[in-house]
Amino acid sequence: MKRTPTLPLKTELAAVQGKSPLDGGPTRIPEQLRADLERVRKRLGVLVAPPHHRIQAPITHGVEHTGRLLRPTLVLLSSYLLQDDLDEATHQRLIDAAAVVEILHTATLYHDDVIDDAQVRRGQPTVNARHGATLALLAGDFLLARCMQIAASLGVSRVRTMAETLVDVCAGQMLESSQLFDPLRTEDDYLTAISGKTARLMRTATLMGALQCGADEVARDALERFGHHLGMAFQIWDDILDLCGAQTGKQVAKDLFNGVYTLPVIYAVEESPDRLLPLLREQTLSPEQCQEVLSVLHECGAVGRAARTAQRHVADALAAVESQPSFARRAPAVRRCLHELVGRLVSQHPDLRSPAETVGAGPAVAAQPAGEHTAAQALIRDWLDSYICEPDQRIGRKGPVCPFVAPSLRAGALEIRVRSVGTEPSVAGVTGIIHQALDEFDLIEWQGSNLALRSLVVCLPDLPEPDCRLLDEAHRTVKSLAVRRGMMVGQLHPQCEEPSARNPEFPVNRSPVPLVAIRRMALHDILFLKDSKEWFHEYHRRFGHHYKPGREALDPLFTEAFRRARAEYGTGT
């Protein structure tokens, strides 16, 4: 029976996560990274602002839809490996260095979209789709010029680095374009092309982080290897998704139709030349021919082989970081950030979650098979219907255990996702899953317009009952960050001791499998946010006006909790 192999990038990174006693705690670097990336997003709009409002739309379109900011992330992570004190605010020049790399990347995307006549990128119309190819090309040129201008303000060596990067990116893209529809393209041809068109910019990102921190030559070389190998892995990963990602929202096998024969295809030709060479020599594949090529790729194991090649590059990237004694203190935290980053990407592509053989250092952690996903989701849905949506006199009030779940289910606004904690679950790993889910919440295409009904349930069916305490600890770690974002995270599991707000004797958060539930903050959350000054001030900022004299009568329990908290903490700013 055919099956699509999983992508071992997530497996490799998940297998090596863990808490380091030296990195300042499991969330210090992730929190710093999120804050710095927000600064990068804001800075991008300032740095690319055009001289005339009439040309603003095509120029700023790319930086307003920046996606995951992978390359600025690498700039920042590299700098964190070298900084002595993360308690100090990241220097503005480092934020600018991260922005410069993203501007160069955005410029190349403008040009790529014109070459490919692409109409959609990241779910949005491309610049050439909105404004035409001429303006898209000129906007890309404008961004390249701004990139060099800003790099010059950071130092002469930075301009040289960015210029050399652009040369290599163009050369890599030209190498690829020179071999379109060439079924005899070799693995070396492919690796040389992606080393230029993709990995070079990621290598530059890690180098920029090193340069801004005054790293010595040994550290710079190690970080460049880190960026190069990660870039190679991500391009192979992206090429696998092009062939396998039926649920990615993109056209499947677009590269194949366009004559770009990537690593899985190259491996398949080596294994089955008689079946594939006649097909791949066709300048335009029919849908039936394309499906036959895809079938051969999976039957001969070419996709899994390509995934293992990507995994080896991931292992080499991590080894480059861990090989330097000066990085040892922060390397585990960087591993966790990479795990979270890759996990967010893999989570969007369920076709790649079935288990597969893995190669490389460390024990493998397989994602949950699709059948187990379905079983866990069905179990949660039954629990919601039979318990959460039903009244229970033990909660101390009338109505269902949670009055929002039934309306949310009716509106189609409750999502159930399944995640794996792996064979060696840790607080850091579970914390990373919750952080990922918080980010996912904002990316879901929710049904309906009622924000209050949107709920994301993430269950962890492979978290053993003795380790459910990890979920409690992860919840305590994440809660303040979630509250600052206006979100509520609840942990539920078979041993959960969280009591009902009106009945301290009733552990209301017992569930058949460990899970977290995420939703937006609501009026009744005073019951859960009254015990912390920080939490209460965030609540007061959003809902304090409901408690003004003359407003509608609230539940007396809410009013009393609010009054006590305001008396203890004040109203904040």
Residue 201 near residue 104 (C-beta atoms within 8 A): yes
Q: What is the band of 87 on the pLDDT scale with cuts at 50, 70, 90?
A: low
Does the pLDDT value for residue 382 go beyond 80?
A: yes
Ranges 2-16, 270-284, 394-408: which has the least confidence: 2-16
Would you say 113 and 32 are in contact if contact means Cβ atoms under 8 Å apart? no
Decide if pLDDT at 507 tops 50: yes
Confidence of residue 551 (pLDDT cuts 50, 70, 90): low
Q: What percent of the chain has pLDDT over 90?
A: 45
H or E segment at 489? strand 487-492
Q: Mind giving me the DSSP string for 397-438?
A: SSSBSSTTHHHHHHTT-EEEEE----SS--HHHHHHHHHHHH
pLDDT of 15 strictly over 70: no
Q: What is the pLDDT of residue 67?
A: 74
pLDDT surpassing 50 at residue 247: no
Q: Is 502 helix (H, G, I), strand (E, B) or coil?
A: coil
pLDDT, position 232: 94
pLDDT at 288: 86
Asked whether the CA dihedral 324, 330, 334, 336 is positive or negative, the reply is positive
Q: Is 154 helix (H, G, I), strand (E, B) or coil?
A: helix
Q: What single-letter DSSP state applies at residue 55?
A: G
Residue 148, Cβ density class (10 Å: 0-12 exposed, 13-18 middle, ≥19 buried): middle
The pair phi, psi for residue 97, each rounded to 5°, is -60, -40
Nearest CA among 256, 268, 50 for reference residue 138: 50
Residue 268: CB atoms within 10 A of its CB come to 28
d(CA 561, CA 530): 7
Would you say the pTM of this structure is higher than 0.85?
Answer: no
Please answer whether residues 127 and 58 qualify as being in contact, where contact means their C-beta atoms are separated by less than 8 angstroms.
Answer: yes
Q: What digits encode the pLDDT tens for the residues 170-199?
A: 999 999 999 999 999 999 999 999 999 999
* Ranges of each domain in the chain: 8-352, 370-520
Weakest-pLDDT range from 91-100, 140-149, 491-500, 543-552: 543-552
What is the residue-averaged pLDDT of the chain? 82
Residue 245's pLDDT band (cuts 50, 70, 90) = low
Label the pairing between strands 414-418 and 487-492.
unpaired
Tens of pLDDT, residue by residue over 44-71, are: 999 999 989 888 899 888 888 777 798 9
pLDDT above 70 (res 9) = no
Helix (H) or strand (E) holding 487: strand 487-492
Read off the pLDDT of each residue in 455-460 and give the average, rounded to a whole number.
94
Q: Do 140 and 107 touch, CB atoms closer than 8 A? A: yes
Identify whether the C-beta of residue 130 lies closer than 8 Å to the C-beta of residue 58: yes
HSE-CB of 163 using CA atoms within 13 angstroms: 9
Please name which of 305, 359, 314, 313 lies closest in space to residue 334, comparing C-alpha atoms: 314
Q: Residue 8: is its pLDDT beyond 80? A: no
pLDDT tens profile 309-347: 887 888 788 778 877 777 766 667 776 676 566 555 444
Q: Is the dihedral of CA 518, 522, 526, 529 positive or negative?
A: positive
Q: At what angle do helices 273-280 and 287-299 cross, to 10 degrees?
A: 150
Of 18-22, 128-132, 360-364, 443-447, minimum mean pLDDT range: 360-364
Per-residue HEC secondary structure of 227-289 comes to: HHHHHHHHHHHHHHHHHHCCCCCCCCCHHHHCCCCCHHHHHHHHHCHHHHHHHHCCCCCCHHH
Q: Determine how β-strand 455-459 pairs with β-strand 414-418.
A: parallel
Q: What is the CATH class of 8-352?
A: mainly alpha
With vertex at residue 569, the alpha carbon angle to CA 564 and CA 573, rounded to the nearest 5 degrees, is 125
Residue 490 β-bridge partners: 517
